Amino acid sequence: MAVLKFRVSWEEDDAIYRDVLVKHTQNFQDLHISILKAFDFDQKHDATFYRSNDTWQRGREISKEVYDRAYKVAPLLMEETTIGTEIIDTNQHFIYEYDFVKSWSFLIQLIQVIKNADADMTIEYPLVSRIEGVGPMQYGTKGLLGEKFADIEEKYDLNEAADGFGEEGEEDAHASDDGDNAEDSSDSDEEEEDADASDEGEDANASDEEGNNESGSEFFEGEAF
C-alpha cells in the first residue's frame, strides 16, 4: 500500500492550494469529500473529476453520479473507482469540478508517492497536510457568516436603521429650508421698510419744493414790473 500526496490548486489562482494525503486504495469519493473540507465548501452540489494531462485537457470523467447530459464516454463513478487504478504516471493530473452552476474548478497534481514502509499508518486518511492562501468563499460574505449574519440583522434591524438615517437627513433638510425661508422673509420685510422710508422722504422733499415754489410766486407777484 502507498500514500499519495496531491496538490489541489484553485484554477483561478494557483497560489491558493491544499496538499491532500490519501491512500491509493481509497476511492474518488473520499478525495472529493476531502477537497470540499479543505476549502470549507459544503457537500450539497454535483461534482466530477476529469482525467487530465500536462496541458490540463479534460479526459474521461470520474463522476459522483451519471448526470443527464451527453457523454463521449460513459463516466466512471467515484464510489466504485479507487484512486490507485487511475494513476498512470508519477506526475498524474486530474481536474475537479464542483457545483456545475458556479463551476468551481480545481487542478490536482500528484506530487509525491509515499511507500508503505515510509507511510504513517496510524494517521486517518484522507488528510490535509498543508494549506496555502485564503480560499474562495463559496457563497460570498453572507455565506461565510451563515446564520449568525441573519441573527445580527434581526437583532439590530439594520434596514430600519438605514431608513432612520434617511429621515434624520430629511429633517435637517427641512430645518435648513425653514431657516432659509425665515431669512428671506426678514430680508423682504427690511426691503419693504426701506421702500416706505424712501417714499416718505420723497413725499417730504416734494412738499418742501411746493412750499418754496409758492413762496417764490408770492415774491414775484409783490415785485410786479
Phi, psi (deg, nearest 5) at residue 31: -65, -40
Q: How far is CA 26 from CA 10, 47, 62, in A?
A: 23, 18, 14
- Residue 174 in this model has a pLDDT that exceeds 80: no
Q: Residue type at 7?
A: R
Q: Biggest alpha carbon distance in the chain?
A: 153
Structure confidence by residue, pLDDT tens digits, 86-144? 999 989 999 999 999 999 999 999 999 998 778 888 899 999 999 999 999 999 754 44
Residues 135 and 12: beta-carbon distance below 8 Å: no
The H or E element spanning position 170 is helix 158-222
Structure confidence by residue, pLDDT tens digits, 43-57? 999 999 999 999 999
CA angle 38, 15, 19 (to 5 degrees): 35
